[in-house]
């Protein structure tokens, strides 16, 4: 993992190395995709993470719930809400169109982008994956050729191969151009609050500060684990930045109500909201936080879903069947 992180950091600084790194990374991903079914792959990752086997029956902990749902829940609404462009339809239907960031354009490929005509500043991101983000400012020098290559390459990759998150499988890929959120001073980090919910009931929150750098790349934030009554989850010592929770937002009740509404149809959903003074905006809806592994193995957090009824879900047939190489060639063509 250390070597992988070093290579990833190098790729962010050297363009030619990033080309090699991305091609190699996705080739290995596709080989694993064909080699293991979704269920086989899930069992391998579970044992690697927890150092013990699990038969994917009778899920009890939060991580078990997410992994069980990953190989059983095939609700098409997951696809709509995982699409960073089309999720706007769902949020609007729920009566929360006011929390959507302004979307300036949607491009089917990077060759459609005229950088000279983009609003400045703005935020570019793939709608079907995480990790491909760009903060664009006209005053900054950028390598347009490399950016186009990178976006177009990633548009042809399906993150379902990497994470086995079925909700990404059938998204039609594209590039979203939207407004860049900033604090009034233009410098301070924007707080993001993540609500971990079961069928519309928030069980705990993660408060993040400093999730991205000035280029739009993800970075490790400082964070706190908080109960819905805004008391610190004291047992989550490895998560909490210090022993006092950050200041509770004045609009917290509005945030909580929104999270309840957006997460209501789902057995598990994480609703991420940006908070800027007395306004808030949707960051994203996530259905397998951390790919299925939360940031904490703390029992009080893992036990938050122990009473969840999942009797209607069963391991999907497509999760048992192995994939073919031809499937990897059709990525991005949905």
pLDDT digits (tens, 9 = 90+) for 44-91: 999 999 999 999 999 999 999 999 999 999 999 999 999 999 999 999
H/E element holding 123?
strand 122-126
The predicted pLDDT at position 217 comes to: 66
Q: pTM for the whole thing?
A: 0.93
The predicted pLDDT at position 120 comes to: 94
CA-wise closest residue to 282 among 84, 136, 107: 84
Residues 144 and 2 in one domain: no
Q: Are 174 and 85 in contact (CB under 8 A)?
A: yes
Residues 97 and 164 in one domain: yes
- Confidence band for 220, pLDDT divided at 50, 70 and 90: confident
Residues 89 and 102 in one domain: yes
Q: Which of 180, 214, 248 is the last residue of a domain?
A: 180
Is 286 within a domain?
yes
Residues 112 and 51 in one domain: no
pLDDT digits (tens, 9 = 90+) for 112-165: 999 999 999 999 999 998 767 899 999 888 899 999 999 999 999 999 999 999
Residues 194 and 59 in one domain: yes
Burial (CB count within 10 angstroms: exposed 0-12, middle 13-18, buried 19+), residue 275: buried
The predicted pLDDT at position 107 comes to: 98
Section 258-278 average pLDDT = 97
The predicted pLDDT at position 77 comes to: 98
Residues 174 and 258 in one domain: no
Q: Is the pLDDT of residue 210 over 90?
A: no
**In terms of residue numbers, what domain contains 153?**
83-180
pLDDT digits (tens, 9 = 90+) for 84-116: 999 999 999 999 999 999 999 999 999 999 999
How large a percentage of the chain has pLDDT more than 90?
78
Residues 90 and 196 in one domain: no
Q: Are 59 and 67 in contact (CB under 8 A)?
A: yes
Cα–Cα distance measured from residue 308 to residue 188, given in angstroms and rounded to the nearest whole number: 38
**The total number of structural domains that make up the chain:** 3
Residues 58 and 93 in one domain: no
Residues 145 and 250 in one domain: no
The predicted pLDDT at position 13 comes to: 74
Residues 123 and 173 in one domain: yes
Residues 194 and 287 in one domain: yes
Residues 155 and 6 in one domain: no
- For residue 96, what are the contacts with CB-CB under 8 A and spacing of at least 6? 258, 261, 262, 282
Burial (CB count within 10 angstroms: exposed 0-12, middle 13-18, buried 19+), residue 238: exposed
């Amino acid at each position: 993992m250390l070597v992988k992180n070093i290579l990833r950091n190098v790729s962010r600084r050297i363009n030619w190395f990033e080309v090699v790194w991305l091609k190699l990374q996705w080739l290995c991903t596709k080989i694993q995709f064909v080699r293991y079914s979704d269920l086989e792959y899930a069992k391998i990752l579970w044992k690697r993470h927890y150092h013990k086997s699990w038969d994917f029956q009778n899920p009890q902990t939060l991580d078990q719930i997410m992994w069980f749902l990953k190989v059983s829940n095939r609700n098409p609404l997951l696809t709509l809400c995982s699409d960073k462009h089309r999720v706007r339809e769902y949020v609007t239907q729920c009566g929360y169109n006011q929390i959507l960031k302004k979307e300036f354009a949607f491009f089917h490929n990077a060759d459609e982008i005229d950088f000279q005509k983009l609003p400045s500043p703005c935020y570019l991101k793939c709608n079907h994956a995480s990790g491909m983000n760009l903060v664009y400012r006209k005053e900054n020098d950028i390598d347009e050729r490399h950016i186009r290559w990178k976006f177009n390459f990633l548009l042809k990759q399906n993150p379902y191969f990497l994470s086995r998150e079925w909700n990404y499988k059938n998204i039609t890929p594209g590039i979203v151009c939207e407004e860049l959120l900033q604090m009034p001073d233009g410098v301070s980090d924007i707080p993001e609050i993540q609500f971990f919910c079961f069928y519309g009931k928030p069980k705990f929150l993660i408060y993040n500060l400093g999730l991205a750098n000035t280029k739009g790349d993800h970075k490790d934030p400082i964070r706190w684990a908080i109960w819905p009554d805004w008391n610190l989850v004291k047992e989550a010592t490895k998560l909490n930045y210090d022993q006092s929770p950050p200041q509770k937002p004045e609009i917290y009740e509005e945030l909580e109500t929104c999270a309840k509404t957006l997460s209501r149809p789902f057995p598990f959903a994480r609703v991420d909201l940006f908070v800027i003074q007395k306004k808030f905006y949707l960051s994203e809806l996530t259905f397998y936080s951390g790919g299925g592994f939360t940031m904490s193995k703390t029992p009080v957090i893992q036990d938050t879903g122990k009473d969840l009824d999942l009797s209607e879900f069963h391991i999907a047939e497509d999760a048992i069947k192995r994939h073919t190489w031809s499937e990897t060639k059709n990525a991005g063509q949905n």
